[in-house]
Structure 1
């Protein structure tokens, strides 16, 4: 309410009475506006907005009671205090009718001046108190509505008495649709039938905090009972706080922690895998070197050198891939661009790997467009790395008897001519989850202990990064596990360069010793053959087996003094081989030696499976020779 002096409206058709009342009021310090009809009363009330209207009941047009009703029904004038003043309507029923019409007071003329002024001041105090209460209510409602949380006040029956704007917005309802409704019913409708905590039900005296999902968002519901001064439960307050961003952050942090744990697990797997992958060729190289040093046979030396050359190339490729990944991560990869014929790149890569496909019993089909050249502006060495890695991946995951197709097509779109390279196989395929992650670092299809498919899980990562450096893209497709895979590379065509000549690795190696019957169970052909030659050169009688089944099958007929068993065997692993041999006749006499590219827990597992000794590849020839020299005639049973 403003602090101006009160304005009074004096409406009376009797000029003498009107003059007397006006003079009295002005003498008391009030501002007074006069009128003589009901119409003037309505007009002046709208224009002047007085604090109090003194209405004579008997007016020439509208009587004072009707004027009062109209004033109280109009929102613009409803706050004006009204006092009837009448010399004609003086009966009790007249006073009751006037007060029922909305009047705040009713005096009979002639009226004592002191009573009139006291009544006016009383009605003005009432008007001021109402204005202050209204202002306080508006301030409270503004504060209530400004809260970001949804807040509602419940009555003793759990119905919503008050609700702020956030609460209404939360449910997407108007105040008319919410007020008077059961709070628990509102919560049930919005929670899609989910089980609700006590704070969302009929229990008004609940003080629990709970978390609920309403309309796909998460809210914390705080409950506070409301009691009268005597302690009687009269209602409750419910506060709903939107915690969806907080939960999303928690979920993101949990996912991040899970991703980090998965990355850490992959790192550990990768390190174990790296040790295994490097130890196999190292074993062949170390033993070939020893063989080359201890024999002067030209044929043996030549074979040992071929083994070392082949395995050195394999190791060099793995090391190069690791270095490339490191360079990519540090942003140190740069392309040496020139005009490159993509047909030559593909053909060269296919020719270089065709023998490895034939050795595995795979058919390699090639389809290249009949044009002079598919020129693009790129790095020939890096593009050959892309094609080679795609071919190696297809060969690795396609079993014997399968088919690998390599094709290149040319299409034109709004961006110009583009080459589409496809490498499709009939191999083990991929799950949708693996298809989505197959280009991530260290990701591979599930591996068995034998790691018969090998690799470090970085080849396709390099493919994607190298293709993207050339302005292209690569995608993986599979109909599912067991239904083959297809990798598609898209490259923009443009320019030419010659492919570098392959560098042939060089190397050298020799061996000798005393007579034992030795069973060698090893799936890596080079490692197996070099070890066999070493053992035979030392004078031992050697029987070889390329997998666990054949090793167990050949044990009874040979009855070896010692069995050298690789743990990572296809089909039946080395642990199973050891158990089967120990269970067979004479199996307690043989000295079992575990050979593995893995270390750590495999040593314990090997001992538990029945092995006498665990040796990590590459096995040093002098240690193996010393072991066989010192080997007793018969193993002492445990």
Structure 2
């Protein structure tokens, strides 16, 4: 240890040692920076950076060694043998080349530690080979223990620097450079303390150079290292400056305003758009402002409508929201401007604020909402118009159909019967059209509801087909109805709507087929989502249609034959409504066809099997001596034609009819007399049918009278009309135009059913 301290304090000039240390730190730091850059590169640039790093590190350590030797003062002139000196330089370069290769081969601690060991071994070889080339008066010897300490200590320091300290980041690279310099310094100074010069005659070492020449070489090497370091520093600065400039240009090109605040919520940088969307800040924005100061400017100018009267609370809410990792809010600014403000917290605790001017979006949304309201109002008006027109048309149509049905019960000539059949056929056509319009109004208003009752599917299919069997036979068509056993059973569903779809499809098939056949089949369909289905197929050999027609066939008011010279009538609503009904049931309706090749319409609906209900008890009205033989009927209707129609229909039965023109007269008539059944119109002057029904029920309750059956006999046929009638106290709802047989059945059975219910 004394030898080491003596060598450092007495035999070396400390100024040269400090200079050597600075050179080593600078060279190693530059080499480590080049290796870090090489990790981000590829190909030739990567290889060039690795080679340059090896050259700089080897050159730096070699220069460090000989600068430190210049500070060595053995008391005699030192000359340097050329070839050992050149060999030590090559050894330094080679070892650091291997070390650089090991570092870049695998980014693991093991390979980093291995590179430190390889580099230190090369430094040791360079040191002892270089010392062997010194030309002194005497023989150079070594103390083995101190030499072992020098090499071992240097290896430990190199191992720690490469395996532990070395890593990503500028700080760790600088720490590794200091650690490597410390390892080189420990090796050099400890080994110099182990050197022993025995007096003797100077031996001939061949070609040598003086210290002056060696100083010139070292100066050139130092300048080379400094030059490379300066070039790298300038390149790094220029690259960062260019990247920052490009980043700033990209930031200013953003369509949204963006600002960055540090962990103390102080403004660091912002783009031009940030000032544009916050014009009140454009002249006052400066780095270092806090966010609290910035919003205070807006408060002072009364920009935030939702902060009026509650500034302190508003400020606290705004600051609290910025503490979250992410938050987005829409802020209304004076002048009917809107901003969407998004705050995102960074890993370092800073906040990135993005401001987007959404004034146009808000205006567009407002315009769209107004347009939606107008469209909804127009749609509602259209639906109301359809409902009103349905009502207005049903009233006179009821007179036409009712009188025709009454006329059919009288003796007629053959010509009169033919004319009457035309009237009834036209009436049925109008009735179907009105039903389609009514269904359209119900669907568009969302008021169409499906029943969920048990019914016999086979019977429903046969009844739907039977309506058009005669028409098919009249055209000479073969008419087939096939029901598979699994479909000929009770199911749960809406029998009315199922029959409506099937009759519509069968009607079209018969209408558009001139020769051949029409068939209706019902069978089990393929499972959908594990649930069973029913599949109905209506096929014909009619005119068919092409793919373009198929695309629009299920649209409203569309027909395959839409020309002015068309041969087939219809509203173009049936298929559209049928598909909507199928979808409401959870199924679908589709078709396949080709021109002149017939068509096939396929209806698929869910299959929900049901047990056959118990047979209903038959209610038979038995006549007794105490039971009156005449049914007393009160009719309230303001339309004289409708009153006449009802009178003519009921004339076929044993009925005593009392007719009044409004609800008030109906209420008075009920108070003055007894009736077995009341037929009540809904829309009447003086007092409407709903109000009259409520008054009648109140009078019955007050007087303790039996409940008289009330039938709403009206053209108001929407679901809400039916619900209103039930709520008022009506028992049944019969929409105009009604079938004479249906009215006669109600008048004949409803009073007896009410009496039986009362007796029970």
TM-score tier by shorter-chain length is 0.3 to 0.5
Q: Report 1 or 2 for greater relative contact order, CA contacts < 8 Å, sequence distance ≥ 6.
A: 1
Indicate the structure with greater strand content. 1
Indicate the structure with greater helix content. 2
| TM-score (ref. length: structure 1) | 0.40
Larger Rg: 2
| TM-score (ref. length: structure 2) | 0.35
